[in-house]
Amino acid sequence: MTKAEIAHHSANAHQTISRILDGQKTIINHTSESILKVTFEDRTKPEGKTNATGTIRRVQALAAIGYPLEEQAKLAGIHPDKPRHVLKQKYIRAETAQAIADVFTRLQMTPNPVPSRAATRARAIAAHLFSKANEAEGKPSPEVVVFGGEA
């Protein structure tokens, strides 16, 4: 949190915050109390913006374990284009960041149980190529099971 944000949320002048951080020895009680009441949540109110880096990484991680961007948006209760938009931004609305963080926390260790069509197609192509390579070498093809389609 920046000095300006602390000053804003504690209703103090930014010079006061600077003096305190620079080692001012005496602080008026109500000033110290107002500063101590400032929380991280004050910084991430829905109307505010936050750095998008963490959210971008969460969106990418969920996509890597099989959750398409549209599905992430649906689970987060946001517009279907929002995750794609997030990937291009430096700052995003804190409300969007929190919605995606909640979905990530819930799903981060759970691969998508429904394979995407692209993943199913990739497995089918790999199985087909593996089978053709074995036939060319005169080896019997192992039985390949492909979920959601035929090899």
Note whether 53 and 101 are same-domain residues.
yes
Prediction pTM value: 0.49
Report the distance separating Cα 96 and Cα 129, nearest Å: 42
**Overall number of domains in the chain:** 3
Note whether 95 and 121 are same-domain residues.
no
Q: Please list the alpha-helical segments (H only) found in the chain.
A: 3-10, 14-21, 29-36, 40-43, 53-64, 69-76, 82-86, 94-107, 117-136
Note whether 143 and 124 are same-domain residues.
yes
Note whether 20 and 69 are same-domain residues.
no
Q: Which domain holds residue 119?
A: 115-151
Note whether 125 and 100 are same-domain residues.
no
Note whether 146 and 130 are same-domain residues.
yes
| 49: enclosing H helix or E strand | strand 49-51
At 18-38, the pLDDT tens digits run 888 888 878 888 888 888 888
pLDDT at 151: 46
Note whether 55 and 30 are same-domain residues.
no
Note whether 57 and 98 are same-domain residues.
yes
More confident residue, 131 or 15: 15
pLDDT at 124: 64
